[in-house]
Structure 1
């Protein structure tokens, strides 16, 4: 076997993945026993590899189970509804966000005590300026990280688990216990702070934040506009310590030492020690760790006079990282790091052999970038739902500049401690290189189609993609390979065709989890509509809210890049603010507001209208009798009334929509209350299949008479968990239950997804995976 490291990685990773996400213990053990039994009975020597790799699979399974058992022990003892006390050591601290990462030593709750070495993230309303390494006592509530509750949402739980952070603690009080002056964490942190100050002295603030991130691994200091600029250009990987940094530092150091020290062994050992120190100093990110392991193997092979196989080293490093933390398997940083390097090592030589026989340097550089891109595109699409159209060209232009940036950045920093003026002169090269990169990014941002929103691809399509890439790059292109390619392409076309056929004539409504608020996305026959956008991730107008963090990620995951229409029930913050964020980001044809807002407009409505004028979006005001019809989809307004009346508050102005498709119908009610319900139930044709529960389940709405007249089979409750309003009222919840209306609570079950072709409909929940089918009432 040429490269057993690849198979070892795959087997170990498969075992870890099965343990973490399926927990098929008995099935795994049965299969393993069967394999061993067959091998013993048949006495087949050739099957030894199957036994070895099955054993590696099991090792991966049980190692992941061991790590999972650490949290299982805590989960069984700790009651997350009760306060805890914890003794912890400060690992890192972020004063601007009032949070810190701590290593727990002991957790206490009532008479239960647990000794643990896990890391947690601690939040506090007012955080004292503790030092890294300080021993503290924390009083507060401990919580597990919840899974995603919306399609397309950022996987916060996965991110923290990949960083070995297993819980969050919301501290009510923190007491200082003792200080550890000479802990390794404190020494590294103080050194990092010292270098940050020196970099801040050498460069303007914006450039300093980029250099700090690129050279010493500082986090959370780059402004959003800079991040977005690099993302659009497809070079956001530069805003982190990467393999490029480690390779430049490691090889430059080794070559420099070789000038003064004759023994390659001594040079190699010194270089390896410095590399690992740098890895720890910068926080040991996945890409840094992977590159450090690979470079360590390369340096070892140099002074041991052995052959170095980069692909084997890559997969050995991947296996070592997964052994340390199995959750890395689903971390985007790990997957991109492994796939990009494998693409460079595997694809680039084959492209050069096929298309660059004369070893043209420009083509060689292009194929390096292309090799990395080919293998990372599916991963980028899976996690971010969009691709940078010009990323290959940008990386071809920028990577050489990044090499200059890193080299001169290190020289400027080190020189500045000896001679500040010389450091500033070298820093000038870094400054102008950064300006050049920024200029290129701005140029790309102005180009058409700079970002392609393609949605989240299916696993099946990703597998077909990689199979075709491997078949395309095979050296011998015979008839068998041609047949294989044709079959794979036909299977892919068949899959896409069947999937497209299943979606023909299908209406999909997704009620998103926006906390204390409402938001729903309607998709039908290539058209997309939004009803409300939520708003209260934070009550601050200067903070990104549900439009940016919930609605936009969902739209992008669905491959939606244009909104045909937006309907806003009323102007309360938890309904309208998310929409203000959305219209700034995505092309929108029209917006519909309730008729009363044509005359009376508050600050949020005026803000929305200003955004609409800037984006050239049509504005309409609906009242009873207004309709929007597209093919079989009918969006009819049943409230507010057409006649002019006086409204006491925003809730009474709510836009109520009866959306019907063939025999199916759903009633969106905004925040109407009893008086508005009385007006609506007197109308004809208000019987529906699904009702979005009025006013988040407030006791002032959902009257018995109204529900009996509307007669829904399903009710969707949208409210924030632990909200300060007491929504939903127990009385209201019981009323729906007594009337035999099935309730779906978004805060508990995640986004609710309704699909129908007009005769029957299916209701699914994203978080709890609940699924029920109903026949339309009409």
Structure 2
């Protein structure tokens, strides 16, 4: 049997994935400790400094990572938390004292639990740190005791890393230095978020990860040096493996670094003992070693990207690239160049096919230009790495020479940035396909596995057809019904409507309790649903908790983001238009977004769906922004919904009169988005008796200072025998309907 070890490792991985799918791992809950003071002891296994902006102030904070956590018996929490449940924690230190790696320390601080995602597409911070084996973090932590013993190796490597970081700061400007630190030292914490996002959206984020390129350059470079110095081969191998292992520890030992170190070590060991090195066997063995240490790596993007790329080169690339026979005569050189180009394209295509589901699962889009950009980026990365290492090693002692050499890297990084920006602006630079279902990913992987197994016997035409079918199955979406999703944006409102014809609309998008709601909730959600274009974005009124995320959406639309066809505002009188209202108009026009105004009686139609404005009337004047809130009535066959913004007071009185007298209301309301986050001063008994809603949705933040939803309002809804769903309890709430029956789904 060929590759028995590889087969065994693959069986182990498949079994593990199967077990994790049907037998979920237990999730420890530390929510009862959130916000409380806690005293604990642990051993420092990693530390770093991060820069944080606090308004106009910039501060550097020391972060300690502790393992072997122990809560002293005198602590009031020593009984509440079973010791075996604790793994590791991170401490944001308030004190300036820096312990050494390996020190056992006692710290006291305020517990902050990691945030759990409450919307589709939202990054789950708690889940991410759980994979990193971190339970929670301590804020404003104080060091109260520290042992004398420390880990000399790891502390020494940390000091070397710190020295290298200073060298890079001397050679490069602040932005370029942060990129070089990420590439060479694995320090991504202080990198500019815009550049990081640009690299991610363009599909070149992999150049920031410590991976096979780093390990092979260091390991092979050192091996050749030792060989030239006539060092015995076995000793050279041990020195090289030790060096790359230390480099991995120094840079954080991420999944891609660990994979590369294991594969590199096996390559040298195989050569040392006279055995044949097999890439796929070493890859599968590296996967098993990592998954034994942390089974949840199968849910980590870095792990999947790294292992997927190498697996694609070993399995898919030989199927996509068939070597031609070398022609004779003058065409030899031309053939050689064309052959290399075809091989590069085949490699890029194989990696892209393997990584596509990972892109869609974690980022919901695929950068089409990444295949071409990587043809430029990867060859230049070798220059960046070698030159960067030279600057890192000589920046402190030969500063003048190192700075001159740094100009080369700065020029290449400029090429990287401009290439990414061109990709971002390209018509089809990014394809937003949404997050696929699990069954789609599984079928896609099986189809690629089948292609890898029998593809060499297939003609090019059949290979192409097979790949097209696999891609179609992966990105297929079944959107034949009307869906309405009330997002959990904390203290704010945001509602996404998808018509049965597949058109998308957004009502509001803001929050005063969640920071940067546009980037962290709205955009990820819309992309996860495959939304590439919004036909209309309705802003019910100019309060920040209803529009501040829409400002981010408009800005992103110019950078290859979700396109916005039109911004719809309530058609109110001049005296009612606030500074925020006028600002929204200016921002929309600056981003070339058409601005329209809506008043009572005007409507949108899309297929069988009609959205009608029932408040305010044209030119409505008031000093209260809530009173002029845009109220929209949606009708789809037998289903109806009313979206009320924050309407209250005289605005609600106007709404009641119009709904009662106009005859627009047909029977009861299927769905009511309750006004003003469940305020006791809105959604009166009279309005509820008029509407008779079957289902009520309330958007508000957990532990909000307003007491939303108000008990009186909940009593009024209960009296109407209305089924109530609240985002603070259920997360995002989605309603699907075919015009007759209604299905309700919640994220939590």
1:103 aligns with 2:72: no
Give the direction of change, closer, same or farther, for the CA distance of 1:560–1:415 in structure 2 (3 Å limit).
same
In structure 2, the partner of 1:9 is 9
Kindly indicate whether residue 648 of structure 2 is the aligned counterpart of residue 678 of structure 1.
no
SS at match of 1:404: helix
- Residue of structure 1 aligned with 2:487, choices 512, 517, 520: 512
Q: Distance in 1 between matches of 2:78 and 2:395?
A: 56
Q: Which digits, 9 at most, give the CA deviation of each residue in 1:55-84, with x for residues without a partner?
A: xxxxxxxxxx6xx5xx65x769x7668654
Q: Sort the Cα spacing of 1:169 and 1:177 in 2 relative to 1 into closer, same or farther, 3 A.
A: same
- Measure, in 2, the Cα distance between the counterparts of 1:698 and 1:100: 41
Secondary structure of the residue that 1:651 maps to in structure 2? Answer: coil
- The question of whether the paired residues in 1 share the 8 Å contact of 2:319 and 2:456 is answered with no
Corresponding residue of 2:40: 86
Cα 1:492–1:591, aligned 2, differ >3 Å: closer, same or farther?
closer
Q: Cα deviations across residues 17-59 of structure 1 (Å, max 9, x unaligned)?
A: 45545328xxxxxxxxxxxxxxxxxxxxxxxxxxxxxxxxxxx
- Offset at 1:162? 2.1
| 1:509/1:520 contact within 8 Å kept | yes
Match of 1:640 among 616, 627, 630: 616
User: Do 1:535 and 1:547's aligned partners in 2 also have CA atoms closer than 8 Å?
Assistant: no
| C-alpha displacement of 1:710 | 1.4
Contact 2:210 2:256 in 1 (8 A): yes
Return the match for 1:379 from 338, 352, 358: 358
Shift of 1:414: 1.8
Could you tell me whether the CA contact under 8 Å between 1:633 and 1:661 is conserved in 2? yes
Among candidates 653, 656, 662, match of residue 637 of structure 2: 662
Alpha-carbon distance, 1:234 to partner: 2.3
Cα displacement string for residues 1-25 of structure 1 (whole angstroms, at most 9, x for unaligned residues): 322344433433344445545328x
Partner of 1:723: 704
Pair 1:356–1:658, CA change in 2 (3 A): farther
Query: What do the CA deviations read for 1:446-498 (whole angstroms, capped 9, x no partner)?
Result: 4332222122223333334334434444567669999999899889979998x
Q: Is the 8 A contact 1:99 1:121 kept in 2?
A: no
> CA shift at 1:344, angstroms?
1.2
Cα 1:625–1:363 shift into 2, 3 Å: closer
Change (3 A) 1:730 1:219: same
Equivalent residue number for residue 222 of structure 1: 191
1:536-570 deviations in whole A, cap 9, x for unaligned? 3556xxxxx11221111122112211111111111
Q: Does 1:562 align with 2:533?
A: yes
8 Å Cα contact 1:535/1:578 also seen in 2: yes
Paired position in structure 1 for 2:341: 362
Aligned to 1:522, the other structure's residue is in SS state strand
Deviation at 1:753, TM superposition (A): 0.6
- Structure-2 change in CA distance of 1:428 and 1:175 (3 Å): closer
> Is the alpha carbon distance of 1:397 and 1:492 closer, same or farther for their aligned partners in structure 2, counting shifts above 3 Å?
closer
Q: How does 1:33-432 map to 2 (within 5 A)?
A: 72=28, 84-89=38-43, 91-97=46-52, 100-103=63-66, 105-107=69-71, 108-110=75-77, 112=79, 114-115=82-83, 118-122=87-91, 128=96, 130-131=98-99, 133=101, 135-141=105-111, 143=113, 145=114, 147-170=116-139, 174-178=142-146, 182-184=150-152, 185-353=154-322, 360-432=339-411
Query: How far did residue 711 of structure 1 move?
Result: 0.8
Is contact 1:455–1:560 with CA below 8 Å preserved after alignment? yes
| Secondary structure of 2:622 counterpart | coil
- 1:512 deviates by 0.8
What is the Cα deviation at residue 634 of structure 1?
1.4
- Among 559, 570, 590, which residue is 1:614 paired with? 590
SS in 2 for 1:532: strand
Name the CA distance, whole Å, in 1 between partners of 2:466 and 2:349. Answer: 26
Is 1:522 matched up with 2:511?
no
SS for the counterpart of 2:431 is strand
In structure 2, what is the Cα distance between the partners aligned to 1:386 and 1:109? 48
Deviation at 1:192, TM superposition (A): 1.8
Structure 1 residue 225: deviation in Å? 3.0
Find the aligned partners of 1:415 and 1:495 in 2 and give their Cα distance. 49
Offset, 1:370: 2.5
Question: Cα–Cα, structure 1 residues 209 and 11, in superposed 2: closer, same or farther, change >3 Å?
Answer: same
Confirm or deny: 8 A CA contact 1:119 1:165 kept in the other structure.
Answer: yes
3-state DSSP of counterpart to 1:722: coil
Q: Distance in 1 between matches of 2:116 and 2:627?
A: 36
CA displacement 1:346-384 (0-9 Å, x = unmatched): 223333435677763333333332322221122112211
Q: Which residue of 1 aligns with 2:546?
A: 575
Contact 1:93 1:132 in 2 (8 A): no
Q: Is the 8 A contact 1:674 1:702 kept in 2?
A: no
Change (3 A) 1:657 1:407: same
SS at match of 1:96: strand
Note closer, same or farther for the CA distance 1:548–1:168 as it changes in structure 2 (3 Å cut). Answer: same
Q: Distance in 2 between matches of 1:480 and 1:440?
A: 35
SS in 1 for 2:51: coil
Q: Which runs of 5+ in 2 are unaligned?
A: 53-60, 327-334, 558-562
Question: 3-state DSSP class of the match of 2:483?
Answer: strand
- Tell me the equivalent position of 2:740: 759
TM-score by length of 2: 0.87
Contact 1:101 1:119 in 2 (8 A): no
Count of residues paired in the alignment? 708
Contact 2:64 / 2:92 at 8 angstroms: preserved in 1? no
Match of 1:531 among 507, 517, 534: 507
